[in-house]
């Protein structure tokens, strides 16, 4: 059965006590307005405004060292995780509805549900 995926989000993982000044920095640095200073109401996520043909820019408050990771959105998260495993990735942890994965290079990334409806350009189809 065919499933679809594409690059969805660049996530700036921030090991900080207060995300707000970092949201302000990245908003100004990238010239992107703040879409949501508190995406889920828990102070852990903020989103900058991007166009439909750009990846989402999300800031996330984390407990590990600051870094950037990417999210791949898919209409079938498990099928996409399996496809990536066949390419050499490893499943690290299932969180809510998404998988934290590790590429053969050691980079962590996530496979998440579709983030935009309709999914927009650059969608890949996989058998």
Domain count, the chain: 1
| Residue 1, pLDDT score | 83
| Residue 30, pLDDT score | 93
**Which long-range contacts (C-beta less than 8 Å, at least 24 apart) are formed by 42-51?**
43/19, 44/19, 46/19, 46/20, 48/23
Task: Tell me which residue range forms the domain holding 53.
Answer: 3-126
Q: What is the mean pLDDT of each run of 10 residues along the chain (127 residues)?
A: 93 95 94 94 95 91 95 96 96 97 93 86 86
| Residue 94, pLDDT score | 98
Q: At 72, which CATH number?
A: 3.10.180.10
């Amino acid at each position: 059965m065919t499933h679809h995926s594409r690059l969805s989000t660049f996530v700036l993982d921030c090991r900080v006590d207060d995300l707000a000044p970092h949201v302000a920095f990245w908003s100004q640095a990238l010239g992107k307005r703040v879409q949501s200073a508190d995406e889920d109401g828990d102070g852990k996520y903020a989103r900058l405004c991007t166009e439909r043909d750009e990846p989402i820019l999300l800031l996330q408050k984390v407990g590990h060292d600051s870094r950037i990771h990417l999210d791949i959105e898919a209409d079938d998260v498990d099928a996409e995780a399996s496809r990536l495993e066949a390419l050499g990735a490893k499943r690290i942890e299932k969180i809510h509805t998404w998988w934290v994965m590790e590429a053969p290079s050691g980079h962590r990334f996530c496979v998440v549900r579709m983030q935009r409806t309709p999914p927009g350009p650059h969608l890949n189809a996989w058998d």
